[in-house]
Amino acid sequence: MAHARSTPVDVSGWIESIPEAAPVSWCLPAYGGRVVVRGYDTYRSDLSPLSGSSRWMLDSTFVPLTVPMSERADGPHGTVFPGDCVIFFGGDSERPESHLWYPQRVIHTEAGRSGWQRVWAIRDTSEVPESLTDRSSTALPRWMRISQPLHGDRRRMALELFGLNVDCPVCGARGRPIMYGMPPGPPGPHIAIGGCLVDADNPSCSCHCGAHWRIGHDGDVVLAQTTAREWW
Ligand SMILES: [Zn+2]
């Protein structure tokens, strides 16, 4: 995220080699996997090339061991684990304003001093579709302290930006994003088909419990009223 280094790093002790041609979704969470949203220490971050790769980079940074602000805090807090998908928020020397970075995959962690944890994560530097690049966000308040996890509407908004906001607001199970329009091929089992009528008010996710919903501009959940369609 800052302080680019040029010496390639060998991470073969932490993870098997990552294919150069892996899909853009490689850094996204495995089905049912955790997504953590975290601030980081800008002054203790650096980005190194991976040995043998021109595409993947290794982000090394320190993140706070977050504590929930209230019992209502949803989403994982506290320790970050290898295998987690992490969305970092914060700035760097080129873009000091706080923004959300494209999801990365955590491959190694170590305990840091006094409430900090060192985290290494894989960053994809290939050309990802416009819809998947890092997002600036005006909804991230300036006063937000990185020792607090994003929760509630802000967490949902962050996940929604990258199509990862699929936790059911009714039963809590992991739902499925709904794909509209003519699919280019058979969709994966984690995608629901929503028909050809594309409308901004359409629900964007569905759950096996029967709920379907979309996320409003502020990250608020808008449950769909109609159950006329079989979304699941
Ligand atoms: Zn549900």
Q: Is 55 left (phi over 0), alpha (psi -120 to 50) or beta?
A: alpha
Closest CA to 159 of 86, 67, 57: 86
**Ligand 1 mean position, distance from CA 212 (Å):** 8
**Ligand 1 mean position, distance from CA 206 (Å):** 8
Burial level of 55, CB count in 10 A (0-12/13-18/19+)? middle
**What's the pLDDT at 228?**
44
Give rounded-to-5 percent helix, strand, coil for the chain: 10, 30, 65
Q: What are the residues whose beta carbon lies below 5 Å from ligand 1 (ion)?
A: 168, 170-171, 173, 207, 209, 211
**What's the pLDDT at 39?**
86
Sign of CA dihedral 195, 199, 204, 206: negative
Q: Percentage of the chain surpassing pLDDT 90?
A: 14
Lowest-pLDDT choice from 31-35, 73-77, 100-104, 107-111: 73-77
Q: How confident is the model at residue 104 (pLDDT cuts 50, 70, 90)?
A: very high
Mean pLDDT (whole number) for 71-100: 76
Higher-pLDDT residue of 88 and 191 is: 88
Sign of CA dihedral 217, 25, 151, 101: negative
**Ligand 1 mean position, distance from CA 33 (Å):** 17
**Ligand 1 mean position, distance from CA 209 (Å):** 4
DSSP state of 155: H
136-185: pLDDT as tens digits? 554 455 445 566 666 677 777 778 777 787 788 888 887 888 878 776 66
Whole-angstrom Cα distance, residue 2 to residue 89? 13
221-223 and 212-215 strand pairing: antiparallel
209-218: long-range contacts, CB 8 A cutoff, minimum separation 24: 209/168, 209/170, 209/171, 209/173, 211/168, 211/169, 211/170, 211/171, 211/175, 212/178, 213/168, 213/169, 215/156, 215/157, 215/160, 215/165, 218/139, 218/153, 218/157
**Ligand 1 mean position, distance from CA 110 (Å):** 35
CB atoms within 10 A of CB 217: 8
Q: Is the pTM of this model over 0.95?
A: no
